Amino acid sequence: MRQQSLRIVLRLLAAIGGGYAVAAGLAALTAVILFVTGGLPRSEAVILASMLAFIFYLALLLWAFAERSLLRLCSMLVAAGVVSWGAAIGLMRLVGGS
């Protein structure tokens, strides 16, 4: 019983906190890619990615509660978070900040 409540708390943290961080990372990466590749002006890229962020978060939330393995959930979230944030920040550095 105790272990089960702990698992639920962990899952809530992973879904709400982790899902948010990954959604923000994916959106930031989308904005940076659109901007860096010259697809869109900077403000346009930011707005498009910001609107998509809510859809990313929704999908991540639903998946976080559907995924049966808590371990797989957490490791995927960490991996996606590191990759998206790393790539977004790296790409911004590459083109020389603002």
Partner 1 sequence: MEPTFRASMNWLHTWTGVVLGGLLFAIFWMGTLSVFDREIDRWMAPATRLVVPDDSLPAEKFRPAIEAAAAAGATMWTIVFPEERQPVYRENYRSKDGFVLRFLDPVTGAALPDPGTLAGTRFIFPFHYSLNLRVWDIGYWLVGIAGMAMLVLCVSGVVIHRKIFTEFFTFRAEKKPRRLILDLHNVTGVLGLPFHFMISLSGLIIFFSIYFPSVWQLPFDGKRELFNRETWGNYSRPKADQAAPLASLDDMVAEARRLWAGEEPFYMRVTNPGDAAAVVQIGRSYRDVVTMRVETLFFDAPSGTLLSRFETAPVVTAQRFISGLHFIQFQHWTLRWIYFALGLVGCVLIATGYLFWLESRRRKHTQLGLRGVSIVDGLTIGSVTGIIAATLSFFVANRLLPADATVLGAGRASLEMWVFYLVWLATFAHAWMRPHRAWIEQCWAIAALAVAAVVLNGITTGDHLGRSLLDSRLQAVGGMDLLLLIGAAVAALTALKLEYRKPDPVRARQHA
Which position among 18, 22, 23, 77 is part of the footprint of partner 1 (CB under 8 A)? 23
Which position among 18, 22, 24, 80 is part of the footprint of partner 1 (CB under 8 A)? 24
Q: What is the 3-state secondary structure (H, E, C) of the chain?
A: CHHHHHHHHHHHHHHHHHHHHHHHHHHHHHHHHHHHCCCCCHHHHHHHHHHHHHHHHHHHHHHHHHCCCHHHHHHHHHHHHHHHHHHHHHHHHHCCCC
Judge contact between 18 and 77, C-beta under 8 A: yes
Contacts of partner 1 in 65-84 (CB under 8 A):
65-68, 70
Which position among 53, 76, 77, 80 is part of the footprint of partner 1 (CB under 8 A)? 53
Which position among 35, 76, 80, 81 is part of the footprint of partner 1 (CB under 8 A)? 35
Name the residues that contact partner 1, by CB under 8 A: 11, 23-24, 27-28, 31-32, 35, 40-51, 53-54, 57-58, 61-62, 65-68, 70, 88-89, 92, 97-98
